[in-house]
Amino acid sequence: MHSVAHRGQMSAYWAVGATTVGLRVEEGVVLASEKRVSYGFTVTSKSAKKVFKISDYLGIACAGLIGDMQAIARSLRAELKLYELDTNRRMSVRAAAKLLANILFSQRYMPLMSETLVGGVDDVGPHLFVLDAIGSLIEDDYAALGSGATIAIGILESGYRKDMTIDEARSLAIKAVRAAIERDALSGDGIDVLAITKRGADERFEAVK
């Protein structure tokens, strides 16, 4: 899932300049992304947010157009709140991911240009789902999206273990994004990290020298 569906290679280059990773371990889920926004050969921002805390038990991380990422985060946050008000219980992570997949598929003729990771912890345990721009849905243990994904995925594959602690998973995610930043001109300017466990969600920022 290193490019956006139904757009050409050049369009994908413009749309997914980013490095975004996610890991699922026994203790929880870690999502991480760098903060640079690039269009073509121009850096338009060094402080973009691509990792979003949706609730205390669920978050998303994206690679794509900033406006579309923000729209996805707003829609999912609103749907989860409405569900909780209607049912007086939390939506499962799997149901939230399927809901987002349906939202994306419903806009397939004018897709939101973003690849998305949905991660969280519910009564069943931790989950990590990978979605493309038109709602294809895959559950996995770890994933990397964006222009730096081919670099980051190698780091994840070499270091990943299911029995890692959440702190080890956070360190591996940072290592993967940092490696991509060093080689991918479209990625850079610090790393946002969201770790979700049964205790809640912990957001941190990691500076990159």
Show the tokens assigned to 193: 């990290």
Among 146, 180, 136, CA closest to 14 = 146
Among 114, 151, 164, 153, CA closest to 135 = 114
For residues 142 and 24, the answer to whether their CB atoms sit within 8 Å is yes
**Which alpha helices (H) appear in the chain, and where do they start and end?**
9-15, 66-87, 93-106, 149-159, 166-183
Is 19 known to be catalytic?
Answer: yes
Q: Give the integer Cα–Cα distance in Å for 101 and 85.
A: 22
Mode of pairing for the β-strands spanning 126-131 and 142-145: unpaired
Instruction: Select which of 19, 42, 87, 197 is catalytic.
Output: 19
Catalytic residues: 19
